């Protein structure tokens, strides 16, 4: 038997969670006016080396890279931002008169890392990017977007952790201070950190191995080296979050693991009871130079990304169940003529927005009733020779136990009336008269 590759999984029992997440993703993205963008699953390897950073673990250790028949180096995308930025530049999306340009994406990413709870080698991300605005308020809005999405999933017990790395001058001053702090004792840290010290010492603060080492814990904080202009930017982000009544914590140790971040960085965490100590469920921030680095015009930008698998783990731990698949009507057909009548009625119902199903295995009436129970059908309709002759049938409400008679021609309208409360169905998106 051929089995799935290590670090991958089939979406079977969790499909309801995935569909619920995707539904809320679309709804909230529309509220915030972010348009969907879809990019290829693989890109030129150079894109991630220049975009994500040569010194990051993602590029050094975790990418799936291969040479194609044209002797080109390709990499399965390990994250979403670089590909979206490439698409933004290549398709000249910066020419759109509506600014800032706001996009969201979803889909599979690939990293060769040790599989663990909520982490896989093929994993799914939901992310968003806003291009063309340098204002602190867009940083705050994108945080609000992420928090609103979590609230839509009923994950309300979350905290926003916020920090600022500042712009070029602030980061240069901080790098000098960090180098001075680390250089005499760098040999006490892991081999990776010793390499990072030469290439990008800021990444030492994001090391999982030495996270509790005294040398790392006592390191200077980026926020202490902000220029007056950068500090004002950070203060305005906080003021905007307060105005939207989004609570946050300034976390001076937060740096994020990718090289392109400037100014605002943030993580959104759920309680440790849901995900343990590694409880960050969303991360993001501002990156003002990435578009230019990849060959585009100077363009400020902000973004975030969620790991879908970790969202599902958190939802399960919080006892949040996915939205159920609703079957409105199960038709029980008795006889060949009844089967044809049932198919005709189901097509009419489905075109009108009512979900329905029937038996296709020639089960007896008892077996068909069992099927209606397994599928949690709201209504059951039995169609046989008598119903066809009399042109009437009974509609049994499985929720209330009540039975209503209706003509075959009025069965659809009757179901709609039974489902409808006010002007909108309680179980579907059907509106009166929509059919």
pLDDT band at 432 (very low <50, low <70, confident <90, very high): very low
Residue 57, pLDDT score? 61
Q: How far is CA 262 from the centre of its chain?
A: 23
The C-alpha atoms of residue 400 and residue 421 are separated, in whole angstroms, by 15
Question: Between these two residues, 347 and 57, which has the higher pLDDT value?
Answer: 347
* DSSP string over 118-162: TB-SEEEEEEEEEES---HHHHHHHHHHHHHHHHHTT---EEEEE
The two tokens of residue 9 are 């999984």
- Cβ burial 130-142 (10 Å sphere, 16+ → b, else e): bbbbbebebbbbb
Question: Between these two residues, 57 and 308, which has the higher pLDDT value?
Answer: 308
C-beta of residue 279 within 8 angstroms of C-beta of residue 269: yes
Q: What are phi and psi of 116, to 5 degrees?
A: -155, 180
Give the DSSP letter of residue 347: H
Largest CA distance in the chain: 94
Query: What pLDDT digit, counting tens, does each position of 314-333 carry?
Result: 999 999 999 778 899 999 99
Q: Does residue 434 carry a pLDDT above 60?
A: no
pLDDT band at 275 (very low <50, low <70, confident <90, very high): confident
C-beta of residue 140 within 8 angstroms of C-beta of residue 26: no
Residue 433, pLDDT score? 41
Question: Under 8 Å CB-to-CB from 352, ≥6 apart: which residues?
Answer: 412, 416, 430, 434, 435
Q: What angle do CA 163, 164, 166 make, to 5 degrees?
A: 170
Residue 53, pLDDT score? 67
Q: What is the 3-state secondary structure (H, E, C) of 158-218?
A: EEEEEEECCCHHHHHHHHHHHHHHHCCCHHHCCHHHHHHHHHCHHHHHHCCCCCCCHHHHC
Query: What pLDDT digit, counting tens, does each position of 328-368 carry?
Result: 999 999 999 999 999 999 999 999 999 999 999 999 999 99
- Provide the total of helices (H) and of strands (E) in the chain, helices listed first: 16, 18
The C-alpha atoms of residue 118 and residue 159 are separated, in whole angstroms, by 19
Nearest to 316 by CA among 127, 154, 189: 154
Q: Which of 117-131, 156-170, 308-322, 415-429 has the lowest mean pLDDT?
A: 415-429
C-beta of residue 155 within 8 angstroms of C-beta of residue 147: no
Query: What pLDDT digit, counting tens, does each position of 28-51 carry?
Result: 999 999 999 999 999 999 998 887
Beta bridge partners of 404: 395
Q: Does residue 259 carry a pLDDT above 80?
A: no
The two tokens of residue 385 are 């020779």
Residue 58, pLDDT score? 65
The C-alpha atoms of residue 41 and residue 54 are separated, in whole angstroms, by 20
The C-alpha atoms of residue 8 and residue 5 are separated, in whole angstroms, by 6
Residue 55, pLDDT score? 57
**pTM of this prediction exceeds 0.85:** yes
Q: Which domains does the chain have, with CATH numbers?
A: 15-167+227-317 (3.30.930.10), 327-425 (3.40.50.800)
Residue 435, pLDDT score? 37
| Mean pLDDT value across the chain | 90
């Amino acid at each position: 038997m051929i089995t799935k590759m290590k670090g991958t999984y089939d979406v079977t029992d969790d499909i309801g969670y995935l569909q619920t997440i995707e539904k809320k993703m679309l709804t909230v993205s529309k509220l915030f006016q972010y348009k969907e963008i879809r990019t290829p699953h693989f890109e030129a390897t150079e894109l991630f080396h220049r975009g994500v950073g040569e010194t990051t673990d993602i590029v050094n250790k975790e990418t799936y890279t291969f040479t194609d028949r044209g002797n080109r180096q390709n990499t399965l995308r390990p994250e979403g931002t670089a590909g979206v930025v490439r698409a933004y530049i290549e398709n000249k999306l910066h020419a759109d008169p509506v600014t800032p340009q706001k996009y969201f994406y979803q889909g599979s990413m690939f990293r060769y890392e040790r599989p663990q709870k909520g982490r896989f080698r093929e994993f799914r991300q939901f992310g968003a990017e806003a291009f063309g605005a340098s204002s602190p308020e867009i940083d705050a809005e994108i945080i609000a977007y992420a928090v609103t999405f979590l609230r839509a999933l009923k994950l309300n017990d979350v905290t926003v952790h916020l920090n600022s790395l500042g712009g070029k001058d602030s980061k240069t001053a901080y790098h000098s201070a960090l180098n001075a702090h680390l250089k005499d004792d760098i040999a006490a840290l892991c081999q990776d950190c010793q390499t990072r010290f030469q290439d990008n010492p800021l990444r030492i603060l994001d090391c999982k191995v030495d996270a509790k080492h005294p040398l790392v814990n006592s390191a200077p904080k980026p926020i202490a080296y902000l220029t007056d202009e950068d500090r004002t930017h950070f203060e305005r982000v906080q003021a905007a979050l307060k105005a939207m009544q989004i609570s946050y914590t300034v976390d001076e140790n937060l740096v994020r693991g990718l090289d392109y971040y400037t100014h605002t960085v943030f993580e959104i965490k759920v309680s440790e009871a849901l995900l343990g100590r590694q409880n960050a469920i969303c991360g993001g921030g501002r990156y003002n130079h990435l578009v230019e680095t990849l060959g585009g015009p100077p363009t400020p930008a902000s973004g975030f990304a969620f790991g879908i698998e970790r969202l599902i783990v958190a939802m399960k731990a919080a006892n949040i169940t996915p939205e159920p698949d609703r079957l409105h009507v199960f038709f029980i057909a008795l006889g060949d003529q009844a089967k044809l009548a049932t198919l005709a009625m189901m097509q009419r119902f489905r075109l009108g927005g009512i979900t329905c199903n029937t038996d296709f295995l020639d089960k007896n009436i008892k077996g068909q009733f069992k099927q209606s129970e397994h599928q949690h059908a709201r209504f059951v309709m039995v169609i046989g020779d008598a119903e066809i002759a009399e042109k009437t049938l009974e509609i049994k409400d499985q929720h209330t136990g009540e039975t209503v008679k209706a003509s075959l021609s009025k069965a659809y309208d009757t179901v709609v009336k039974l489902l409808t409360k006010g002007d909108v169905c309680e179980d579907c998106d059907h509106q009166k008269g929509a059919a």
